[in-house]
Structure 1
Amino acid sequence: MSDQRDVLEVDVLFVGGGPAGLAGALRMTQLLEENKRAAQDQRLGEISIAVLEKSSEIGAHGISGCVLDPRALQELIPDFKEKGAPIESEVTSDDLFYFTGSGQIRFPLLPPPLRNHGNYVVSLGNLEKWMGGLLESTGAYVLPSMAAVEGLFDGERMVGVRTGDKGIDRHGNRKPNFEPGADVRAKITVLCEGVRGSLTKRLTPQLKLEEGRAPQIYATGIKEVWRMPQGRVPKGRVIHTMGHPLDSKTFGGGFIYGMDQDRWSVGFVVGLDYWNPTTDPHGLMQEFKRHPFVAKLLEGGTLHSYGAKAIPEGGYYSVPRLSWPGGLLCGDNAALLNSERLKGVHLAMKSGMLAAETAFDALRKGDFGAEAMAAYDRRVRGSWIWSELTKVRNFHGHTRMKKLAEAGVKPTTLEETQRRYDNARTFTKVNDVFHSGTKHDEDQPSHLLVADTDLCATRCKEEYGNPCQHFCPANVYEMVPDGPAGGVKLKLNPSNCVHCKTCDIADPYEIITWVPPEGGGGPNYLDL
């Protein structure tokens, strides 16, 4: 048991093995390959690339709707089909329905943002696994089960990250298998942690990345994949819904996508700026599946997998500064998502590619300062990423004012839904967590840090009714009896956590901080 930290030196480090990090690393390998054919005096020497990923393997934490706009993928890998990209289906039909409590109305004309001709239904996790395999074949380092917990700095310049220690028990003591986290040092560090990245959250005030920007707006998405009897699923069918079970003050809607091999991708998204503190995104998803239209589609099927994630919906006005000396910010981590089109994967991939181009130029010049890194901000704003975000910059606020004339049904509460689960089509949070494949070492410190649990039992209970037990889609937070006087206390179930980050966002007192658990822990998503 040693205190000595391993040190890995690389040239370019991508923190996060999602679409942004993988696309960025792949683009970097392409640029280096092209550079080998350049004139001798213009060639770089050996350049090392690494991707850190907190999950047990690339793709294990990957979750998205996902109807993929292939624009970035085509730019990165023009022959992606020939190379075996795991495409479920090209989109074959598009529908938008308004749900009432017992029926539905099909929109005769589809709004242009929801037209998906030329797009593809995919599993993001499977796409990430495929991209990870391509990257490994280039000789780049792909390092799973390593969670970045701290930024390394030399003065104002970022020079890498420190990964989390392993082998610490729940009381903070070292176990026999204790292993200190490694320092991964890099000339350029690209943060691609996904929405509400824990390291990015720590660094944002220090680097003043959000100065002058609008506050971020978030939603939480719940998704399930269902296996159906043969011939029941028209692959490539895309359905979006609005209305029931949401009320007129709550933003969100449902989606149903036809996958290959007779599987439905079914999900529900709820804006986290809802008015009712007992709003339960998981419960609303279960209520969505009770609607006769959805229930008929799922009849005879079995639940295959479950997951959840937060979604950054602030868009154009919420995009932070994307660079600092030695560092860049990509993907959901940078609020690069088009909430009108319900798409962010293509923007994440393109941002990673632009980060790679910026890193390549910086390596050639040997300049990693603020101005050299700011070329990335300029690249993003000069690309189709910015054109797309500019067009929809007022979408979310506009729909807030319009309210979409929805159904007027109060959000489903925890108590209402739990009484009605049938464990055939609707499931408790605990049962759904089982279908997420989530595993954590039980004997480790909680990765959910609650600054003041007394506040939970008093002020939060009185003012909000302890919303954590409602907004968490994995039953991590429970209020349990405490003493004979009728008091309550917070009980944490961190091993249930599916890493959606909702608690870090929706807690009204901002006393919950999500930090990475021991590397390799968390969900093991299948086909999400």
Structure 2
Amino acid sequence: MSERDLMEFDVVIVGAGPAGLATAIRLAQADPAPSVCVVEKGAEVGAHILSGAVIETRGLDELIPDWRERGAPLETPVEREELYLLRDAQRSWRIPEAISPPSLHNAGHYLVSLGNLCRWLAAEAEGLGVEIFPGFAATEVLFGEHGEVIGVATGDMGIGADGRPKDSHAPGVELRARQTVFAEGCRGHLGKQLYQRFDLDAESAPQHHALGIKELWEIEADRHELGLVQHGTGWPLPERTHGGFFLYHLSRCQVAVGLIVDLDYPNPWLSPFDEFQRMKHHPLFAATLEGGRRIAYGARALAKGGFDALPRQHFPGGCLAGCEGGTLDNAKLKGVHTALKSGMLVAEEILAAFAVGDPGGRDLTGLEARLRASWLYEDLRAGRNFGRSLHRFGTLLGGAVNSLDQRLLGGRRPIRRPGDAPDHTWLEPAALSDPISYPKPDGVLSFDRLSSVYLANTAHDEDQPCHLHLADPSIPTSSNLAEYAEPAQRYCPAGVYELVGEGSDDPRLQINAANCVHCKTCDIKDPAANITWVAPEGGSGPNYPNM
């Protein structure tokens, strides 16, 4: 194979999400500004971005104070909000605002497409001189002679499924930097390696995750209420399964509807995708969606561990930013403003390091102090008990505890979470769990996986190496099938994992990698921790419009 080209920058940023772009913009706002490169695995900026999203503007106010005048795509302010507990398939209870946790109030916030916001941020960054390379996946961390990070390499293009170069082969590029920022989002594949190499979570609680599934709909005008936000929890999620739903009324008679399912659920028969599909038949959703048209679909994992799961954010030669470092505010159900703030803190620490001379492989030790002195840290600390209360006391009592905790104690007294262990360890044997029978989709409100993946605009070259690696290919059928009824075929929201020949003498797990929407759930939830998600060829994956 040909040798890789080498490019050098002061700072290389992996990931053009809100954290990576905020880092780039803050760096480029300096005088003098360092040279900055952002590498993004999506075919374009925003292609892989998925969020609800209600945005608190605090982070954007600090990053670009005149964002309104500059045309940032925050066009729908929250006008009204409702919080619900779904009791069963027909009934719901609206929770009075006076007793709901203050962190769930959204007055003054905006409904946005985070993908479109990132596209706008990218244009702002490029206007300041930042170089952004979409369609190039960073696949390797580069290390110096002392073990420090010195950059990343992008993956080769044009590699066949057999691992050999095709006629279209083009080698990747080494991007070397004085500091490298990893802002890949939740469960970044390079970040996962850095956590292990530098033991970044040695002093924190295990990170916890959820799977968020979202659809975008066009609905009838008489069913649309611009700026309405509806949140809630309860049905259809079974006992000991936590999460919640959202329904946001956007502009142009569009609504975003979604379900978030915490990935520490115990029942291996559960399918988050199918729970979401049947949820839409509840009258609360059907009243809005009936007569409408589904126009987009996607799924993505979220880091929900919060304050107690914050890892060390820095290591020799680089650092984490945004959801890569677990900054999502679970109590507020928001992560955009925290990702923006995280990126700014990272940039300010890098600039301070550069101001005292080339740090070489220097560890950005001042980043922890910056984080602790910020409102980001205080917000996460104040909401530290939100998820733990729900897990310890259940939905109703836990919600009441959260309301009292936030109004009176500010999270100062931590609540212990029972059995705090990684998400993949929570599954119970299939034989001891209640099987779940899901209704067939009706093609009106509920749909199958394949038609959903089609709406994610997912594209992978079929003739490329599989990007879903099994450490032991025998585990799916030798142990996962017998003990857990092979849960990958249910927890994956894109139909990637298919059990072929079940009940025969030779069943096998078929991996339909071309379906993958890069949600990372398999990397998190597989009970044997046997699946590793790695980046496929740059530009592969979903291409989300307005998500």
By how many angstroms is 1:295 displaced? 0.9
Partner of 2:400 in structure 1? none
Partner of 2:93 in structure 1? 105
By how many angstroms is 1:111 displaced? 2.4
Q: Is the 8 A contact 2:178 2:361 kept in 1?
A: no
Q: Which amino acid aligns with 2:133?
A: L
Q: Which amino acid aligns with 1:23?
A: A
Q: Is the 8 A contact 1:272 1:506 kept in 2?
A: yes
Superposed CA offset, 1:334-363 (max 9, x none): 011111110111111101011111111122
Partner of 1:139 in structure 2? 129
Partner of 1:450 in structure 2? 470
Q: Which amino acid aligns with 1:302?
A: R
Q: Which amino acid aligns with 2:71?
A: G
Alignment pair present for 1:76 and 2:63:
yes
By how many angstroms is 1:232 displaced? 2.9
Partner of 2:275 in structure 1? 284
The 5 Å alignment of 1:251-266 reads: 251-266=242-257
Q: Is the 8 A contact 2:270 2:436 kept in 1?
A: no
By how many angstroms is 1:486 displaced? 4.0
Unmatched 5+ stretches in structure 1: 36-43
CA distance in 1, matches of 2:129, 2:329: 33
Q: Which amino acid aligns with 1:24?
A: T
Instruction: Please point out which of 171, 180, 187 is paired with 1:189.
Output: 180
Alignment pair present for 1:130 and 2:120:
yes
Alignment pair present for 1:437 and 2:428:
no
Q: Which amino acid aligns with 2:253?
A: D
Q: Which amino acid aligns with 2:16?
A: G
Superposed CA offset, 1:264-290 (max 9, x none): 110000010001011111111101101
The 5 Å alignment of 1:216-235 reads: 216-235=207-226
Alignment pair present for 1:25 and 2:16:
no
By how many angstroms is 1:228 displaced? 1.2
The 1:431–1:356 alpha-carbon spacing in structure 2 relative to 1, beyond 3 Å, is: same
Q: Is the 8 A contact 2:317 2:362 kept in 1?
A: no
Alignment pair present for 1:355 and 2:346:
yes
Alignment pair present for 1:487 and 2:475:
no
The 5 Å alignment of 1:32-431 reads: 35=31, 44=32, 47-101=34-88, 102-109=90-97, 110-154=100-144, 155-368=146-359, 373-405=364-396, 416-417=437-438, 419-431=439-451
Alignment pair present for 1:462 and 2:449:
no
By how many angstroms is 1:237 displaced? 0.6
Q: Is the 8 A contact 2:315 2:363 kept in 1?
A: no
The 1:414–1:118 alpha-carbon spacing in structure 2 relative to 1, beyond 3 Å, is: farther
Q: Which amino acid aligns with 1:286?
A: Q
By how many angstroms is 1:47 displaced? 2.7
Superposed CA offset, 1:398-444 (max 9, x none): 111111149xxxx9999833x51012211101110001111011100
CA distance in 2, matches of 1:321, 1:209: 5
By how many angstroms is 1:94 displaced? 1.1
The 1:76–1:255 alpha-carbon spacing in structure 2 relative to 1, beyond 3 Å, is: same
The 1:331–1:508 alpha-carbon spacing in structure 2 relative to 1, beyond 3 Å, is: same
Q: Is the 8 A contact 1:254 1:288 kept in 2?
A: no
Partner of 2:418 in structure 1? none
Unmatched 5+ stretches in structure 2: 398-429
The 1:62–1:152 alpha-carbon spacing in structure 2 relative to 1, beyond 3 Å, is: same
- SS in structure 2 of the partner of residue 416 of structure 1: coil
Alignment pair present for 1:517 and 2:517:
no
Q: Which amino acid aligns with 1:27?
A: R
CA distance in 2, matches of 1:272, 1:340: 17
Q: Is the 8 A contact 2:331 2:384 kept in 1?
A: no
CA distance in 1, matches of 2:199, 2:342: 20
By how many angstroms is 1:450 displaced? 1.1
By how many angstroms is 1:207 displaced? 1.1
Identity across the alignment (%):
42
- SS in structure 2 of the partner of residue 495 of structure 1: helix
Q: Which amino acid aligns with 1:494?
A: A
The 1:47–1:285 alpha-carbon spacing in structure 2 relative to 1, beyond 3 Å, is: same
Q: Is the 8 A contact 2:15 2:39 kept in 1?
A: yes
With the length of structure 1 as denominator, give the TM-score of the two structures: 0.93
- SS in structure 2 of the partner of residue 420 of structure 1: coil
Superposed CA offset, 1:161-195 (max 9, x none): 01111111111111011111110001110110100
Q: Which amino acid aligns with 1:357?
A: E
Deviates most, 363-372 or 206-215: 363-372
By how many angstroms is 1:485 displaced? 4.2
CA distance in 2, matches of 1:306, 1:158: 36
- SS in structure 2 of the partner of residue 241 of structure 1: strand
The root-mean-square deviation of aligned C-alpha atoms, in Å, is 1.8
Partner of 1:471 in structure 2? 491
Superposed CA offset, 1:178-230 (max 9, x none): 11111000111011010001001112121111112111111100000101123
CA distance in 2, matches of 1:376, 1:233: 45
Q: Which amino acid aligns with 2:536?
A: P
By how many angstroms is 1:509 displaced? 0.1
Q: Is the 8 A contact 2:213 2:300 kept in 1?
A: yes
- SS in structure 1 of the partner of residue 211 of structure 2: strand
Q: Is the 8 A contact 1:225 1:303 kept in 2?
A: yes
- SS in structure 1 of the partner of residue 93 of structure 2: strand
Deviates most, 295-304 or 371-380: 371-380
Q: Which amino acid aligns with 2:326?
A: A
CA distance in 2, matches of 1:315, 1:372: 24
Q: Is the 8 A contact 1:65 1:223 kept in 2?
A: yes
CA distance in 1, matches of 2:263, 2:339: 22
With the length of structure 2 as denominator, give the TM-score of the two structures: 0.90
CA distance in 1, matches of 2:271, 2:5: 43
- SS in structure 2 of the partner of residue 457 of structure 1: helix
Paired residues in the alignment total 509
By how many angstroms is 1:317 displaced? 1.2
Q: Which amino acid aligns with 1:354?
A: L
Q: Is the 8 A contact 1:248 1:404 kept in 2?
A: no
